[in-house]
Amino acid sequence: MSERPQHSHAPVGAPAGAPTAPVKRQFVSFEFYKISEDFRKLSGFKRAAAKKSFIKAVDTFKNEGILLAYSTLGFKAETDLMLWRISYDMDSFQRLSSAVAKSAMGPYLKTAASYLAQTKRSTYIDKHQHDGQDGNRTNVYPGRFKYIFIYPFVKTREWYLLSKEERQRVMDEHIRVGTQFPSVKLNTTYSFGLDDQDFVVAFESDEPGDFLDLVMALRETEGSKYTVRDTPIYTCRLHELKDALDLLG
């Protein structure tokens, strides 16, 4: 992960010294919902109508960006549902949240957590090129794995006062450990100034045990001593939105 990414790049084939074109970056939102117990007390007809209204509201986002639904039911007491939203327009998240609140299911939903970030290119990965390299991407391509593990991440102020060479040395070990777990895909997004944390990290995998082993291995790296906070952690299971809602009753 990096706090000093590159902001632009020269077009492919452009002559040396040509003006650089701005990199188009995505905004990323993880919205967690808790369902009221009152929802489960509704008749089957009213529950079905509320879910249909919710799905219709979420469908308004189709022309705005990418949206995936995940269930957290049974994994985290505070949440039942998560929407992973990706867009080039940050205001699209507000429009969607408004549509959801106005849906028939809105009165039964509580926003349990919400994280906002943006993509950027890491400067630490130039020495570590490999297929699927997370830090190279200014676009997120989600949803290829059954599970996603999400948490806000904050580093110490001392970390940012280290020289770039020292930070690179520490990150070399961090990246080396990460490449030992190819079944786990990392999506790093940046929250500086947009939200409370420095980063939001989201690991996708079909194998929860591999992610567990990766986190344990990273605890033993030098970089871990520069971590202030990497909780709460959310384990989420990918579903079609209708299926995720049907799990709720």
Tens of pLDDT along 133-145?
444 567 888 888 9
pLDDT bracket for residue 51 (50, 70, 90) = very high
Residue 87, in any domain of the structure = yes
Mean per-residue pLDDT for 164-178?
A: 95
Assess whether pLDDT exceeds 60 at residue 97: yes
Residue 27, in any domain of the structure = yes
In this predicted structure, which of 13-22, 51-60, 142-151, 230-239 has the lowest mean pLDDT? 13-22
Structural domain of 235: 22-249
CATH number reported for the structural domain that contains residue 60 in this entry: 3.30.70.3420
**pTM for the model:** 0.86
Residue 16, in any domain of the structure = no
pLDDT of residue 23: 76
Cis? peptide before 5, omega within 30° of 0: no
Residue 124, in any domain of the structure = yes
Looking up tokens 């028939």 gives 104
Residue 120, in any domain of the structure = yes
Residue 12, in any domain of the structure = no
**What is the tally of structural domains in the chain?**
1
Residue 73, in any domain of the structure = yes
Residue 3, in any domain of the structure = no
pLDDT of residue 16: 54
